[in-house]
Amino acid sequence: MIRIENISKYFNETKVLEDISTHFERGKTNLIIGQSGSGKTVLLKCILGLFDASKGEIFFENQSLNKMNSKQRSVLRQEIGMVFQGSALFDSMTVEENIMFPMKMLTKKSTDEIKMRSNEVIKRVNLINSNKKFPSEISGGMKKRVAIARAIVMNPKYLFCDEPNSGLDPKTAILIDNLIQEITKEYKITTLINTHDMNSVMEIGEKIIFLENGKKVWEGTNKEVFKTENKGVENFVYSSELFKKVRKVYLKP
Amino acid sequence: MEILYHIGGYFIMLRKVFGKFTKWNILKNLILREIDVLIIGSLGIVSFISFFVGGVVSIQTALNLENPLLPKNLIGFTTRQSVILEFAPTFISVIMAGKVGSFITSSLGTMKVTEQIDALEVMGINTFNYLIFPKIIALLFYPFIITVSMFLGIIGGYVASIYGGFCTSADFIEGIQIDFTPFHVSYAFIKTFLFAFILASVPSYHGYFLKGGALEVGKASTTSFVWTSVVIIITNYIVTQLLLT
């Protein structure tokens, strides 16, 4: 479980996050939603330790991130898998090499063991025929799957995804969302996803926090988000014509 | 004030480069790859420039020796001195700041904007050591390039003076042997080692701490070339003052 208490973040004089507290449970897909510029990525990077929070504390299983020294942080990071918005695959490595990379770097496993584990993960994300290809030779959806495979290859306790389905067609986006949710359940990971995609909210939002101008203004589930009275969330959720029509037909007849 | 911030940042980066080390079997491959790209990949252009600039130095010297009392072996002597003392170590390093420096900045910069460095960071890898240390070690082989440059510069001078009819082969060979001070070669290689470190570290700083997107990668490569050249020129002045006066 990850718990955050009163997190604030300033860049010089600009306040980007203000007094955010919540917790993210193990085995659940936790979503951080909000408009662009609402502070989602900064919050994710603060939790990851890529940015230091200006105020507040972050706990990983009751261990405070703020009180960890660089060695402890390094150990914690080995328990974290991250799927970046642009996949962040290493261009000079093949799909297989990308997936094997964390194990080669951080474990003492033999080449055979590394190969075996990487094959398992490649099968899990359904990339069997692409393992010898370079990232430039595969599609956006496949890149995301490689990024997911690389993120889970070390059996992480925590999985962070920054807009995992941005730039993907709706069908592939749903496949990626479902894959993340399945992996979360299967490996009992604490998963945190940054998104502004309403399909993801509907499909996998087991817990959702909504950010507006750096503040947490709402918290709930995907069942509650469509019925909320909160104006900010309502405007965000029903910003598209499609969702407005869906509401008209199904929710407020 | 901003320059102090960058100088501080540069030294903090250097401390981290020599922090937590990457596993040797991985580091070894990275070093070999960097040697191939940075050293072997630069041999062609360095050889080409050295040969022709050596030739130009000897022609210029020959054309300025108007007084018949001045011996013709001065062409060989001047070519040797110019090439060993300044042309090979300093001039080639400024060219390398453009070739190798821009390459380092743009490759690290691209990794930064595509979040590949963040990905390494999240894995708990010391990105400074993983990305910059192999470049520093690879550039320890930089004196090899400078040796080739010195040799080809003098050969270029020889060919240009003989085929240009400015002096005889014996004059030139005598010229490159007279009044030879071995310390000048040591001085050139001391400079070369310092320049090698600058060539690896200054562009790495510009690439690693880049902020922005593709356009900024281009800008950073230019800035990196300018600053690497400036640092090389200033270091050259200080080292010359310290070692030769």
Supply A208's token pair: 């959702």
Distance CA B206, CA B102 (A): 10
Percent of chain A with pLDDT over 90: 36
Which of chain A's residues have a Cβ under 8 Å away from the Cβ of B115? 84-86, 88
Give the chain A residue nearest B120 (alpha carbons). A102
Residue B242 has pLDDT above 90, yes or no: yes
Residue A249 has pLDDT above 80, yes or no: no
Residue A111 has pLDDT above 80, yes or no: yes
The shortest C-alpha distance from A51 to chain B (Å) reads: 11
Domain count, chain A: 1
Domain count, chain B: 1
Answer yes or no: is B18 within a domain.
no
The shortest C-alpha distance from B220 to chain A (Å) reads: 21
Residue A35 has pLDDT above 70, yes or no: yes
Boundaries of domain holding A169: 2-251
Query: Cβ separation of B118 and A88 shorter than 8 Å?
Result: yes
Nearest to B125 among A75, A105, A160 (CB): A105
> Which of A91-105, A118-132, A170-184 has the highest average model confidence (pLDDT)?
A91-105
Boundaries of domain holding B53: 23-240
The shortest C-alpha distance from B215 to chain A (Å) reads: 18
Answer yes or no: is B118 within a domain.
yes
Answer yes or no: is B227 within a domain.
yes
> Which of A63-72, A94-103, A199-208, A242-251 has the highest average model confidence (pLDDT)?
A94-103
Residue B164 has pLDDT above 80, yes or no: yes
DSSP A28: S
Which of chain A's residues have a Cβ under 8 Å away from the Cβ of B20? 74
Query: CA separation (Å) from B115 to A162, A206, B147?
Result: 11, 28, 39
Say how many CA atoms lie within 13 Å of A84 toward its Cβ. Answer: 20
- The 3 state secondary structure assigned to chain B is CHHHHHHHHHHHHHHHHCCCCCCHHHHHHHHHHHHHHHHHHHHHHHHHHHHHHHHHHHHHHHHHCCCCCCCCHHHHHHHHHHHHHHHHHHHHHHHHHHHHHHHHHHHHHHHHHCCHHHHHHHCCCCHHHHHCHHHHHHHHHHHHHHHHHHHHHHHHHHHHHHHCCCCCHHHHHHHHHCCCCHHHHHHHHHHHHHHHHHHHHHHHHHHHCCCCCHHHHHHHHHHHHHHHHHHHHHHHHHHHHHHHC
Q: How many CB atoms lie within 10 A of CB A241?
A: 8
Q: Given this model, what pLDDT does residue B186 score?
A: 95
Nearest to B123 among A73, A85, A102 (CB): A102
Answer yes or no: is B6 within a domain.
no
A121: domain CATH number is 3.40.50.300
| Confidence band, pLDDT 50/70/90 cuts, at residue A253 | low
Answer yes or no: is B17 within a domain.
no
Residue A154 has pLDDT above 80, yes or no: yes
Bigger pLDDT: B199 vs A228 = B199
| Confidence band, pLDDT 50/70/90 cuts, at residue A252 | low
Answer yes or no: is B138 within a domain.
yes
Residue A251 has pLDDT above 70, yes or no: no
Sign of the Cα pseudo-torsion (A120, A123, A127, A130, in order): positive
Which of chain B's residues have a Cβ under 8 Å away from the Cβ of A102? 123
Query: CA separation (Å) from A176 to A41, A150, A195, B88, B138?
Result: 19, 14, 13, 56, 41
Average pLDDT, chain A: 87
Residue B164 makes CB contacts below 8 A (sequence gap 6+) with B58, B59, B62
Query: CA separation (Å) from B78 to A34, A110, A234, B65, B217?
Result: 71, 59, 81, 11, 41
The shortest C-alpha distance from A109 to chain B (Å) reads: 13
* Residue in A94, A188, A82, A92 with CA at minimum distance from that of residue A142: A94
Bigger pLDDT: A246 vs B116 = B116
Interface test with A, best of B29, B123, B131 (most A CBs within 10 A): B123
